Structure 1
């Protein structure tokens, strides 16, 4: 992949830029294999090396009449990245209409050095069906009325917009979004069809950035789960329910736990529409696991998909001491994964696979199947 922004020194986010893609995959695989215990590795799962992102987090800078959509440089000046090759045309084609809308609705870009302005980010998500979710991240509600007034013109120019909201983040710090979300459209969820399952994405819910590779990740997990055929499955850090719903099957119950209430509502909606035996609870995974791993309804298999820090010692100890025969661990940080595996010695890794969610970078996603010894 060639990138003019990288060559010009305007953006260096893609640390592997310019390296052959096969070499990138080999480097990631070697690092993961060297960090984890010996395990049977399946071939890496890779999607397109460019045009793969389903989400754009565009920092808005510049002026009302000449806004930039992209990132900030070290001085806090906007760098326009509308032509970034990581975005597919179905996503990047929405940027120009949004740039024009900033000017039309007189949305003053937030200036970080002076702490003045209103519009901080434009967050755009693309569904597999080609629909879009748009979130305006503002410093206050001052511009909401103007956005409402001019929104029909934006919808006419970009009719694929299915979900539109305003998020208010008043603080001057590196926090992407605030607690207040104001819906501007009738629809409140974006349909994400992956691995044969309809998932519903709400504005403040996490979702994998690479749709094609996320589809492969869910399908691989389902294949491993079906192979060991558990009767009861527990999905910790379940997000919008991707793993639990992908692995649902007749005669198999699933329970998911996620700290985000919005994500749990999405998972419940998807489960109801699919008619599967799956329940979802909002709360801390470690706190709820203490109860869910015991009793007559204790799971035979546990799926964990934690943030970069991993599951941590307390939850690892609970899984180690549980009756679960298998664990499917999805990790975006091989170092924290290695620490967690060391804390669960009776759950031995038997298979692993690298999923390249973020080509052109050293980031990785690893799926590991663990089996209890004895």
Structure 2
């Protein structure tokens, strides 16, 4: 973790001091991680006092992080006593009702469109030096960094106005009844702990952090744990500020990708078709995880046909982009495509990042 993780907020001596500090007004919009699409209602409509301190599981959680991280129990009880339940977060994490098939073209249309492309050109023009430096240091193309920040928050326009402590605590202890409830509860409880650790390490009020309904923060929508692990001070001011420094956001996105397997100079995706020549064994390659595991000859043996010549020394995976009731698109993805899916575990997301970045680059060059 970078030793200079601090925010542009005065240092306070203890959590008890932190939680009694007045909070700044939140940003007017909220951003769903990976979509930037949600707009929240007023805080009064979304939040209510829940007295989390009286919840048995919250008490057990406090015991755990006191023992593990050396927090003061009284101070933590004060924090959770001021944390509010946010019903809106519960509604937003619920899965979409069944019946409507996934539609890549509709999804793409939300992100690769004139507003984001024009905003991306302006962003690239303004921060060209930082993007060039990130590309040189991390070997991540500027267009990929631009694509991620554009998809996430429309270049800082839509970073979220939920208090992170409220959103994460609500999801950590009141996650709705879904098939993945157990794993999501574990994830969000980890992020509550990371929020408290980030606040302590940075000398800030944990309630000063605002973000999406799922607790993602700043221009690149990093979760608190990702801030602690992957965020970098890229503007050289000896603090990390993903909400106020687009340059820190640029460097942090690049560092995140490198730490998740980005390989300099390797390709992303290639168009493909599928045939019955391999007895439709290509179907066995669908949904095999976010990793490139197959040699080119192995793909071809199942009936996958590349639309162009591919490097034979790399490993690949088969990506299916469903188009509602229209034919599915198939792509052969290399390692760097799957590195992007570690940012958001979705083929749609990774492809929209790639295509938005390319569209911004092409528009800027014109």
TM-score normalised according to structure 1 size: 0.27
Which structure is higher in RCO with an 8 Å CA cutoff and minimum separation 6? 2
Going by fraction, where is strand more abundant, 1 or 2? 1
Higher-helix-fraction structure: 2
TM-score when normalising by structure 2: 0.27
